[in-house]
Amino acid sequence: MTAAQIDMPHLAISYVNTVSAEPFDDFLAQVANEKVTLKVEVREPDGPFAAGEWIVPSIVGVFIVKSYFDGFLKEIGKEHYLILKDALKKLTCRFIGPTAPPVTLVAAGKNKVSSPNPRFSLMYSISLVIERGLVFRLLLEPDMTEVDASEAVERFLSFGAQLFDGTADIAAVNGLLGAKSYFGSVLFAFDQSSRALYVFNPRSGAELSAGKK
């Protein structure tokens, strides 16, 4: 699923049909609210991609659309934001960590290559849909601890909430000022040393982590 394919006002989940629906049923039950519109896409397994591992659709993708933050929270109250944050942390820990199933990337093209140990999880990602054609995508390392994964989610959601209410400090996310999107995505990651978000630069493969230029 891409930002251009999402036609819903609040939250969306896209996952491959080889994954059990049980974790998503739990997530949806927790965040359910008559004023919250949810979209669930169950898709066929993706084929080989002619792109880097940080660009391909993850097997499980969670999308939080601008409209969730942009005016909606004022209507429904911030209690639901806290519920969403808790539910998202629980869902994240189902797919990120030492016990998460490994995923190998197979690239398309004449000389196909595989990535047996991808830097970021191909199983799971979270995206903020800023507008059609642009998402901020949080990449998570597949073997992150539950503490680190939960903090990454916390900081990413907090940044989203601040971004849409006009209080975000863009300069606080290293590399975000002047960042370019790749195939419609600006790629975020979490520096486990500095406990801060940064923008990952796929062109160079280098990270612009906090405190490193």
Contact by Cβ (8 Å): 38, 10: yes
In a domain, 151, yes or no: yes
pLDDT at position 100 is: 77
Q: What is the mean pLDDT of residues 132-141?
A: 92
In a domain, 213, yes or no: no
In a domain, 212, yes or no: no
pLDDT at position 102 is: 67
Quick: pLDDT tens for 179-204: 988 889 999 999 999 999 999 987 76
Quick: pLDDT tens for 61-80: 999 998 888 867 777 778 89
DSSP code of residue 102: P
Range of the domain at 11: 3-207
Q: How many domains does the chain have?
A: 1
Quick: pLDDT tens for 108-122: 444 444 455 678 898
In a domain, 187, yes or no: yes
* Statement: residue 103 has pLDDT above 80: no
In a domain, 65, yes or no: yes
In a domain, 45, yes or no: yes
Q: How confident is the model at residue 53 (pLDDT cuts 50, 70, 90)?
A: low
In whole angstroms, give the CA distance from residue 94 to residue 27. 11
- Collapsing DSSP to helix, strand or coil, 87 comes out as helix
**Burial tier of 160 (Cβ tally within 10 Å: 0-12, 13-18, 19+):** buried
Contact by Cβ (8 Å): 131, 66: yes
* Statement: residue 47 has pLDDT above 70: no
DSSP code of residue 3: G
DSSP code of residue 182: B
- Higher-confidence residue: 15 or 4? 15
Contact by Cβ (8 Å): 3, 12: no
